[in-house]
Structure 1
Amino acid sequence: MTDSFDREKARAAAWFRDLRDQIVAAFEGLEDSHAEGPFADEPPARFEVKQTRRVSEDGSDAGGGLMSVMRGGRVFEKVGVNVSTVYGQLGERAQAAMMARKGLPGMKDDPRFWASGISLVAHMRNPHVPAVHMNTRMFWTPHAWWFGGGSDLNPCIEYAEDTAHFHATQKAHLDPHGAGHYPRLKAWADEYFYIPHRKRARGVGGIFMDDYCTGDWEADFALTQDIGRAFLPAFLPLVEKRRGHSFSEADRDTQLIYRGQYAEYNLVYDRGTKFGLETGHDPEAVLMSLPPLAKWP
């Protein structure tokens, strides 16, 4: 596999950036439209945007992206929407992990890589509004390429109808690619977003895939795009329905304890966090997923 993939890489990176722009606009729109209920008398928040830069071990440029974070809003306590495109050579630990996962012995001789994607985590002001995570990405090496990503819902106070809507919307976006995709990606999410030391799921699931490559780049990219397109219609109606609910101190306490377990998962088990830190990406961008406040009982 050679650099003939330059066109595909450019298309993927542009798609992730466009999805980022749509989500940022929609989230700021939620801040503007929140007119009743808790925090409605506060000013709407806006994203702070910062360019990120990755530097290789020899000091040369190795890509970067945009980190967009909104804090202390009417609806969002903290939300980050990051896009990045990074490249360079994988270090020895990353090479070993890649060879173990993908069976790519050529990585040792040619450890070049390119990766682009969008990553989002939202922690909400109102405990009745679920936290949410979404990411999609493309990874390339001279030896193989693949896609990954998905989205999952993380309520501290669960509403069965919200969970049903989130999953039904994702299924509707995946079914045109084949009836088997949704159940397989749902099961994959259930397995991946699990906290072993707590013996419980991180949330109520969603869809997830990793190392996904059928050999048909156009088909795999189209599936990845629809995973991204499913996010806003799956999540926005839940925010609009729950953001005006009143809540108690006990509800807030439940939210903070839940966030502690969310942080445990991201720091101990999440592969994206580990990869970002091991490959030298901006640690503030990598750790953007952590909540602004959390507690442990």
Structure 2
Amino acid sequence: MKRIAAKSDNATRAHELVSSLQARFVAGLEKLAADLGSEQRFSPVEWFRDEGSHGGGIRFETADGDLFGRGSVNVSQVHYDDNPEKKLGSASAISTIIHPCNPLAPSVHIHISWTEMKSGAGYWRMMADLNPSNENKAHTAQFFDAMKKAAPALYEEGIAQGERYFYIPTLGRHRGVAHFYLENYATDDAAADYALARTVGEASIDSYLDILTQALSSSDKASDEQQAAQLAYHTLYFFQVLTLDRGTTTGLLVHNQNDVGIMGSLPAYVDRQLLRSWIDRMQPPQHQLLNALVAALPESKPALVDEAVKKRLAAVVRNHYRTYPEAIEMQASGNTIPSTVKNHS
């Protein structure tokens, strides 16, 4: 099979941008691993949308190593150039999550995407958030500073939208400690918008690589309490992604041809009992969703989230929102809500 690329010049440039960010991040992560004497590397996995006729993508992933419990750096481009009934022209994106094994090293999530309608209108989505299980205040400040330098005029807006999007009402706290998010971003200066997307992507990647190098090069050893905090935090991360993250849910609703890739943000292990303890806090019908997610997990302590489990979890999320389509309005948003599912309809 062969992936057919979108015809739009803007889509081509966007795909070149996200692909360059992917190469930058994977190269940096593998260099860090080599410098630390680790043999852990990222392996390419290709997927196809409708056997490649509508695009697809390639992700570099790793799991169960000495440095990274889970890691995914995914680039995709989906388009409908051959379908005049679709309003959406194309969507090109990098979505990446890294979950280090060391509880003193933070996780990171970065997403940069360009969505283009056949009318020619389009918008960027830019997200970068630092997710430590045991916060290092200096690392938090460093990440914030990188975002401020990358987007000085939009820093306050990006932080405000990020704080809103990553808040978990049920638990009364945020996922992560440093959030930057611009949704549906577009101005009259397309070149400046493109440059901003590149700058935000490169700044978040480079800042995280430096933070990760500091954490993994340190001689500090995690305590039992910090190990336990990591499992609890990874459980919260799992909870937020599968009950609140609009990007994950809409991706699963649009198609079922990259479920493992879409679920690449999930950590390796979660606490099933902790998840179960949150069910009664959920508003209907979301309590049913969480109950089904818990049932899809293995009963081991902690519960391993492997490829087979990811597929079961994807099916749970997809079935839930097909049964309760109105429940998607209960998910997180920035200042605006993207019409992703409608665009693909």
Normalising by structure 2, we get a TM-score of 0.72
Contact preservation (8 Å) 1:32, 1:44? yes
Contact preservation (8 Å) 1:31, 1:75? yes
Contact preservation (8 Å) 2:127, 2:181? yes
Q: What is the DSSP-based 3-state SS (H/G/I as helix, E as strand, rest coil) of the residue aligned with 1:81?
A: strand
Q: Tell me what 2:87 maps to.
A: 111
Contact preservation (8 Å) 1:194, 1:202? yes
Moved more, 127-136 or 216-225: 216-225
* Amino acid aligned to 1:128: L
Normalising by structure 1, we get a TM-score of 0.83
2:42 matches 1:47: yes
Q: Tell me what 1:147 maps to.
A: 124
Q: Tell me what 1:68 maps to.
A: 60
Contact preservation (8 Å) 2:80, 2:86? no
Structure 2 unmatched ranges of 5 or more = 1-5, 275-345
In structure 2, C-alpha distance between the alignment counterparts of 1:250 and 1:112, rounded to whole Å? 48
C-alpha displacement of 1:215: 2.9
In structure 2, C-alpha distance between the alignment counterparts of 1:87 and 1:69, rounded to whole Å? 24
Moved more, 272-281 or 258-267: 272-281
2:9 matches 1:14: no
Q: Tell me what 2:96 maps to.
A: 120
Pick aligned residue for 1:194 from 158, 167, 177: 167
1:216-255 equivalences in 2 (<5 Å): 216-243=189-216, 244=218, 245-255=220-230
Q: Which digits, 9 at most, give the CA deviation of each residue in 1:31-61, with x for residues without a partner?
A: 11125xxxxxxx4211121101112xxx772
Does 1 or 2 have the higher relative contact order (CA < 8 Å, sep 6+)? 1
* Number of corresponding residues: 263
In structure 2, C-alpha distance between the alignment counterparts of 1:60 and 1:186, rounded to whole Å? 37
C-alpha displacement of 1:110: 4.5
In structure 2, C-alpha distance between the alignment counterparts of 1:53 and 1:196, rounded to whole Å? 36
Pick aligned residue for 1:277 from 224, 227, 252: 252
Write out the 4+ residue segments of structure 1 that deviate beyond 6 Å after TM superposition.
none
1:193-212 equivalences in 2 (<5 Å): 193-212=166-185
Q: Tell me what 2:134 maps to.
A: 157
Pick aligned residue for 1:30 from 22, 29, 32: 32
Q: Tell me what 1:104 maps to.
A: none
Q: Which digits, 9 at most, give the CA deviation of each residue in 1:201-237, with x for residues without a partner?
A: 1011221111111132211111111110112331122
Q: Structure 1 residues 125, 110: closer, same or farther in 2, change over 3 A?
A: closer
Structure 1 unmatched ranges of 5 or more = 36-42, 90-106
Q: What is the DSSP-based 3-state SS (H/G/I as helix, E as strand, rest coil) of the residue aligned with 2:49?
A: strand
Q: Which digits, 9 at most, give the CA deviation of each residue in 1:79-113, with x for residues without a partner?
A: 10000000239xxxxxxxxxxxxxxxxx9x65333
Pick aligned residue for 2:149 from 136, 154, 172: 172
Q: What is the DSSP-based 3-state SS (H/G/I as helix, E as strand, rest coil) of the residue aligned with 1:73?
A: coil
Moved more, 285-294 or 241-250: 241-250
Q: Tell me what 1:290 maps to.
A: 266
Q: Which digits, 9 at most, give the CA deviation of each residue in 1:151-208, with x for residues without a partner?
A: 0001111111111011001111112xxx3x1111011111111112111110112211
